[in-house]
Structure 1
Amino acid sequence: MSYETNSPIVDRALAPVPLQTISSSRNHDALTALSQQARRDLQRLNYPAPNWVIAPHADNVLDVLIVGAGMCGQTAAFALQREGLRNIRIIDAAARGGEGPWATYARMLTLRSPKQLTGPDLGVPSLTFRAWYEAQHGSGDISNFDASVPGWAALHKIGRVDWRDYLLWVRDTADIPVENLTRLDSLTDEDSGAVARITGPHGSETVRARKVILALGRDGSGAPRWPSFPSLSMQDPLAKGRVFHTMDEMDFTAMQGKTIAVLGAGASAFDNAACALEAGATVQQFARRKLMPQINKSKAASFPGFLRGYSQLDDQRKWRFYTYIFDEQVPPPWETVRRCDAFSTFSLQLGCGWKDVQPMQDSVRVTLSDGSIKHFDAVIFGTGFDVDMLNRPELERYSAYIDTWAHHVSPQQAASSIEAARFPYLAPSFALQSVDGTHAEAMGRIHLFNWGATMTHAAVGSDIPGLGIGSTRLAHAISADLFVQDADLHWQHLQEFDESELLETRWHQAGEA
């Protein structure tokens, strides 16, 4: 059901919104006990697997450098360690707990995904979110440890901060080493591998690695999408503190009593509108579309067969699937819309885009699509993220040569789905590919594990449903690549291998094969 007016449907009673909480209380003793159980389970799985890579290089050359230690980078590291790749480093520019969006620009109360999904656990039951939550708050089937906190059965969706804390717990339990406050400044190459310039708490250093995984989050294959308006320049000092993107840091408490405009009708637009409303602002939200999308088509593309098989499809069928999903658009969660609709100070104007935005000394002047003019204390763009490899500073050396989907569909198709055409066209190993052979070898060492992998691999490098499949596929591919590169060394090792199996028998002859 849709509505096109500025007011929500009021002709029937709406279903109550289940209890939603950002985080629950912590039971540290329970988590310690669960960590011990999980470590025993990992030992039974021979984790971490012994390192098998024969190091033909200098000691200071990594097998893998992972840039980004959010949900995807962390899980990729876990998968690599399960494969016996131990000579790795994982860096993240944020402080511990600030990796990914969960404590920064993600402003929803709960995750959008169903609570039962798994991924960061890589199939280890004691590492699942459910195990983490039940250890502290019970199953909820009979009784709760704390009556004020719902047990698993009564939990509606996972709290955003709970998810952040759970990820940190998995990291610690699985012994995934992360170097925080360490950023990637540049990425180049030499004959032996990639050369990364990084800066951390102890200064700058040059790191050499045979493989680099870029797990830089939702904007890791582009940048926040800023709409273009004739009178708006983000370099204008008048825009500071008045014009925001949903990814920006914002002081919502300063919005109390102010009138805020939000552009967009996606989940993040509603999340930010809700934060402003809860701070005491009046919010007017605008969207060009006349109807809110009702069905999340991506949910129908989240089952194992799709997530495993999509990468095997021909290009035309891949293009058909995801351009359809993109065109249908993802509706905001109904709980998020109701979070805003609960305020009398909220209005939503559908079918009403913006023609211009002009920051002024004491307001922001917005020209609506019908030519009318409104003034607001601040505006927030809920316009998402662009995929455009030219926007990635760490890939500046290669960006002009990165193969994209525009080269694998017809010009008419590329013109009709411009953003889809800008997605990188990746190898089966998630590696970048060169459109003309320039820097091909160097780009083959760089593996993209974020939203940019979606057109080639489905959403296995960005969203929870496909995370376990994607990180395992990535780890398997890198493991195979490193073996193939060193095949001759492994042949030599095979010939030199002399660990005798036949001991303590009358047939044993020492020193003979």
Structure 2
Amino acid sequence: MVLSINELEKWIKQDLDQKRYFTKQSWCKPSRFDAGQKVYDVVIIGAGQCGLALAHNLKMRGIGRILVLDKQPLDKPGPWSTFARMPALRTPKNIPAMESGNPLLSFRTWYCAQYSEAAYDSFDYIPTENWKEYLAWFRKVLEIDVINEYEVAELESQTDADCFKIIPRQGDGQQVYFSKFVCLATGMTASGAWHMPEEYVGLLPEHRIHCAWDDIDFRKFEGRRVAVIGSGAAAFDNASASIEHSCSQLTMFSRRIFPKGEGVSTILARGRNDALIFDEESGQAPADILQPVLDYNQYLQPQDRAKLLALFFKDGRSAPRPEYFANIKHIEKINILEGEKISDLRLNSREEIELISNEKAHLFDELIIATGPQYNLELRPELKHFHQDILTWKDVIFDENVLSLGVQPILSESYQFRSKHGDSEEVISRLYSMSDVVLSTVGIQCVAKVSQIIAEDISKRLFHSSFDHIMDFIQDEENYQTN
């Protein structure tokens, strides 16, 4: 039986009301700072799927004083309305996500209620527009407080009050907030920022060179020759968008050679057939090796973990695998050049973009840079006062042949930043991340698992700090007052 959307929302409300889910109060010790301003238990920076999933898991644990801040407008959640230009998500539709074990909150349940089961069965990858709808619905039905168009300029530690001061960008007209814990859910730029490589800066007029993460007017590409530098997901998204807007030619320059065989994840998920060793296991399905690798690689020694992670990063983050191409729109119209080394870029006398790669000249009208973000914690405004104390891979082991992302932070088992120095551990450990930085520590993890682990760890720490407050209430409820 498929519920209507109204019936589904009614069931969700009834189920969660029993848990006092929708209260704005919290069992944690209430705190005020300075001139009596409220101190939140948790502030989450980023209102995409990660931020909303964490907010949901905190509310499930009775933590009501939470706030989510997002720099995007309300109608443009996450990257789906800006630089993520793909028509569908890149992960299969049946991967567990934000619902955290509650089937009533799953994308499938929502989609079937909103549209139909037949419509759901018609695709393998979630259409981007439907995912945006789902995020908006998830936020609405769970009454998650989000302040949009709030860009964090910096965090300051208020050591005398065990909290952070969250300061907005100057001129935004937004207020300052205080919180005991802060979690970054800022996506791909969680340990850096989008970056135009220095070797391309100033070589071409600004209206002829474009960055993949900018708001590009692809209508102007009609009938023009377009080059894309880069070979990651954003490069293919922008190439597809250019072709869709009738560019006359699209050439992609990839520094790396694309992998030809199966990916590490595919091989591990398929498993090893031990029937070759144990005859009695003949006919049994091989065990999935991928899941234990994802669950337990964080417990390896740094050297071994670095070797394992190097395979994942080389396999999944440098260039798409063969099976990925089937889901790229207009792939047959993209001229992909692999193993390219660009040595020069200029505007010739005919106002054409002249790109020299592997000692060969190519002529274009428009250029898109899609080389991805630069990893550097100094570029994160939230970490302005903390980056020098955060432990990174290069502080433990840094071999370019083993792990090329040495500037990435090493997170704890609970996804906290870790400190290089003991004297800053207490402050640094109250900063969490569930963005792309987790990949360098624990590999690929599903949103549901990460959000549950972080919510559980924060809840335990809040309970410990609130214990005396709770005991006072138990022992003298009649005279209890909130301070």
TM over 0.5: yes
**Would you say the 8 A contact 1:63–1:210 is kept in 2?**
yes
2:372 is aligned with 1:384 = yes
Which one is further off, 184-193 or 131-140?
131-140
Distance 1:185 1:389 in 2: 14
Q: 1:107 to 1:202 in 2, by over 3 A?
A: closer
Distance 1:472 1:188 in 2: 26
Aligned to 1:463: none
Aligned to 1:439: 424
Distance 1:85 1:305 in 2: 31
- Given candidates 213, 237, 242, the residue that maps to 1:276 is 242
For residues 291-330 of structure 1, the aligned pairs below 5 Å read 291-298=258-265, 300=268, 304-330=291-317
Distance 2:21 2:203 in 1: 53
Distance 1:363 1:488 in 2: 72
2:90 is aligned with 1:104 = no
Aligned to 2:394: 406
Distance 1:290 1:347 in 2: 14
Which 5+ residue runs of structure 1 have no aligned equivalent? 1-28, 141-150, 461-465, 500-513
Q: 1:294 to 1:279 in 2, by over 3 A?
A: farther
Q: 1:306 to 1:498 in 2, by over 3 A?
A: farther
Distance 1:304 1:171 in 2: 29
Letter in 2 for 1:63: D
Aligned to 1:24: none
**Would you say the 8 A contact 1:185–1:199 is kept in 2?**
yes
Cα deviation digits, residues 92-127 of structure 1 (max 9, x gap): 111113221111111111111111122111211111
**Would you say the 8 A contact 1:181–1:201 is kept in 2?**
no
Q: Matched residue of 1:247: which SS?
A: coil
Distance 1:127 1:173 in 2: 9
Distance 1:207 1:338 in 2: 43
Which one is further off, 390-399 or 272-281?
390-399
Q: What's the CA shift for 1:225? A: 4.7
Letter in 2 for 1:368: S
2:141 is aligned with 1:173 = yes
Distance 1:396 1:178 in 2: 24
Letter in 1 for 2:70: D
2:413 is aligned with 1:428 = yes
Cα deviation digits, residues 140-192 of structure 1 (max 9, x gap): 2xxxxxxxxxx222223210111111111011111111111111111111121
Q: What's the CA shift for 1:256? A: 0.4
Distance 1:215 1:359 in 2: 40
Aligned to 1:154: 122
Cα deviation digits, residues 406-443 of structure 1 (max 9, x gap): 1222x4x2x33564211101223322222134533322
Q: 1:470 to 1:213 in 2, by over 3 A?
A: same
Cα deviation digits, residues 343-386 of structure 1 (max 9, x gap): 3xx322222231233357934321112x1222311211222233
Distance 1:360 1:66 in 2: 49
- Given candidates 30, 36, 49, the residue that maps to 2:10 is 36
Q: Matched residue of 1:111: which SS?
A: strand
**Would you say the 8 A contact 1:112–1:157 is kept in 2?**
yes
Aligned to 2:282: none
Distance 2:10 2:327 in 1: 37
Distance 1:296 1:39 in 2: 42
Letter in 1 for 2:297: Y
Distance 1:186 1:334 in 2: 40
**Would you say the 8 A contact 2:306–2:402 is kept in 1?**
no
Distance 1:478 1:336 in 2: 39
Q: What's the CA shift for 1:61? A: 1.0
**Would you say the 8 A contact 1:189–1:442 is kept in 2?**
yes
For residues 43-62 of structure 1, the aligned pairs below 5 Å read 43-44=17-18, 47-48=21-22, 51-58=26-33, 60-62=38-40
Aligned to 1:224: 194
- Given candidates 463, 467, 477, the residue that maps to 2:457 is 477
2:468 is aligned with 1:488 = yes
Q: What's the CA shift for 1:246? A: 1.8
Root-mean-square deviation (Å): 2.7
For residues 7-406 of structure 1, the aligned pairs below 5 Å read 30-44=4-18, 47-48=21-22, 51-58=26-33, 60-140=38-118, 151-191=119-159, 192=161, 193-198=163-168, 203-229=173-199, 232-233=200-201, 236=202, 238-281=204-247, 282-298=249-265, 300=268, 304-330=291-317, 331=320, 333-337=324-328, 339-341=330-332, 343=333, 346-358=334-346, 362-369=351-358, 371-406=359-394
Q: 1:186 to 1:118 in 2, by over 3 A?
A: same
Identical positions, percent: 26
Aligned to 1:504: none
Aligned to 1:11: none
**Would you say the 8 A contact 1:107–1:275 is kept in 2?**
yes
Q: What's the CA shift for 1:247? A: 1.4
Letter in 2 for 1:334: F
